[in-house]
Amino acid sequence: MLSTFHHIGKYFLLVGRTFKKPDNFKLIRKQIILEMLSLGIGSLGLIAIISLFMGAVVTLQTASNMNNPLLPGYLIGYATRESFILEMAPTVMSLILAGKIGSNIASEIGAMRVTEQIDALEIMGVNSASYLIFPKIVAALVFIPIIVIYSMFLGSFGGFIVAMFNEGMTIEDYVTGLRYDFRIFSIIYAMVKTLFFAFVITTIPSYHGYYTRGGALEIGKSSTKSVVYTSIVILIINYVLTQLLLL
Amino acid sequence: MIDVKNINKSFADKQILHDVSINFRQGEINLLIGASGSGKSVLTKCIIGLHEVDSGSVEYDGRDFTNLDFKGRKEIRKEIGMLFQGSALFDSLTVEENVRFPLEMYSNQSNEEIEERINFCLKRVNLENVNHLYPAELSGGMQKRVGIARAIALNPKYLFCDEPNSGLDPQTGIVIDNLIQEITQEYNMTTIVVTHDMNSVMETGDNISFIYKGRKWWEGNKHEILKTDNKELCEFVYSSKIMQKFRSL
């Protein structure tokens, strides 16, 4: 228990150091662009495939459970849209990104630690936490919401493809469902969650990477631990924010 | 000049450094020698502030480094160059970008001036036509030379080298030793080299400190080390048959 508090304290101290004034804004700006390309653009393909298939499966499952003639056909599109906007795109995609981006960050920073590259930065007088972690946070805060919106569209499109080829559904009903009772607050709620998740997806793996000690084996352990803890924290934040924002 | 005064350092219950005091002289190669686990690396990390000392002080030309805040230390660190055991080059950057990094971070030079300085530093360590290669594409000796080029980019007053020829063949090791010696004299730097390589000791040892079980056990130069009768130092220096033969000559 004491060790948990020790890690939480150390994590917040590291986050504090990350937000200290950078030594050179020009270099930080360059890093932010590089991080956006590596963390953001590199994830688009994976998110596209997952969103399309999940959208299709959610639509199929909803349709198979709604064979009651009293239920209107547009409810399938409505259910797909709501599940994607409220949960699938922000939370499930963030969990997937925690695996992809999180392990990447932890192993990258961990390798820099064990090969003394972080020590080299420190000796040059550079605030290594700010130089290495801050650009990742900014890149994630900008790019992960874009990825989540992209996932919402693709998930709905996956359902649309199912509606096109499924006999029990019509495209008109599906599109009506997508547009039915649309509330902008759902998008705001999803974006608020996503910003919290984006912060966690970058800072927790950075913490694990930054304090890696040892060699290749420890880098692997840090990477695994970072994915596990990031996922747990995402689920807890998801519950707390849902309680606060929706009820 | 770097003055280390009465440094003590512990990790948990284990005391690693015991009241170590050493004066590192300007314009000379100051060697820290000792067996693995003797405390050389911890001492170096205390001197450059990667570890906080429990007591004692480190003075860089009269400036007390141990009592400075982050900002004060940063100013001194800009005057420090360091060559790491594994070179510690940024592996996502090319050779040129590695040398450019400290210049872009701290100097107000124009792009042309930075370019000129990079080429000068790389030429000084006898590296040409490697500007666009990544560290993984270089040999160990070349990586060390890029490490030296990066370390001298900002014209440092103090140069730290952590086992500069470990992992290198003897011939390349001598090239690196000579390069460090030339640069030290050329720029009148205070150079501290951590090593347990006896070739380096005999080639470059102007001022040698032998660390034994966390204490400064002996101090002298490469001529005095041959005549010493210090038991622990003799065990360290003359542990190989070649060195034993060398002594008997």
Count: domains in chain B:
1
Task: Record the tokens describing residue A169, joined without a space.
Answer: 């559904």
Question: How would you class A199 by CB atoms within 10 Å of its CB: exposed for 0-12, middle for 13-18, buried for 19 or more?
Answer: middle
**Residue B226 pLDDT more than 90?**
no
B residues 52..91 contacting A (CB < 8 A)? 73-75, 77-78, 80, 82, 84-86, 88-91
Higher pLDDT, B164 or A230: A230
**Residue B243 pLDDT more than 80?**
no
**Residue B248 pLDDT more than 80?**
no
What does the pLDDT average to over B143-169? 89
What does the pLDDT average to over A202-229? 96
Which residues partner with B3 through β-bridges? B23, B59
DSSP for B45-103, please give it.
HHHHTSS--SEEEEEETTEESTT--HHHHHHHHTTEEEE-TT----TTS-HHHHHHHHH
pLDDT digits (tens, 9 = 90+) for A141-181: 999 999 999 999 999 999 999 999 988 788 999 999 999 99
**Residue B36 pLDDT more than 90?**
no
Q: What are the φ and ψ backbone dihedral angles of B39, each rounded to 5 degrees?
A: 115, 5
Give the global pTM. 0.87
* Residue-range definition of the domain harbouring residue B120: 2-248
What does the pLDDT average to over A222-230? 96
What does the pLDDT average to over B138-155? 91
Q: Is B245 on the interface with A (CB under 8 A)?
A: no
Residue B58: the pLDDT is 94
Enumerate the H helices of chain B as residue ranges. 40-48, 70-77, 95-106, 111-124, 140-152, 170-187, 198-204, 222-227, 231-237, 241-248
Residue A191: the pLDDT is 96
Contacts of A81 (CB under 8 A, 6+ apart): A156, A177, A178, A182
User: Strand, helix or coil at B11?
Assistant: strand
Report the gap between the CA of A114 and the closest CA in chain B (Å). 9
**Residue A70 pLDDT more than 90?**
no
Check: complex ipTM more than 0.90:
no
Supply angle C-alpha B226, B227, B232, rounded to 5.
80
- CB contact under 8 Å between A27 and B78, yes or no, is no
What does the pLDDT average to over A37-49? 91
Residue A201: the pLDDT is 97
Report the gap between the CA of A46 and the closest CA in chain B (Å). 24
Supply angle C-alpha A99, A5, A198, rounded to 5.
30
What does the pLDDT average to over B53-73? 91
Q: Is B9 on the interface with A (CB under 8 A)?
A: no
List the one residue out of A87, A88, A115, A112 whose CA is nearest residue A205.
A112
pLDDT digits (tens, 9 = 90+) for B163-194: 888 878 888 888 888 889 988 998 899 999 99
Find the closest chain A residue to B89 by CA distance: A117
Facing A123 at nearest CB: one of B48, B75, B106: B48
Q: What is the CATH number of the domain that holds B14?
A: 3.40.50.300
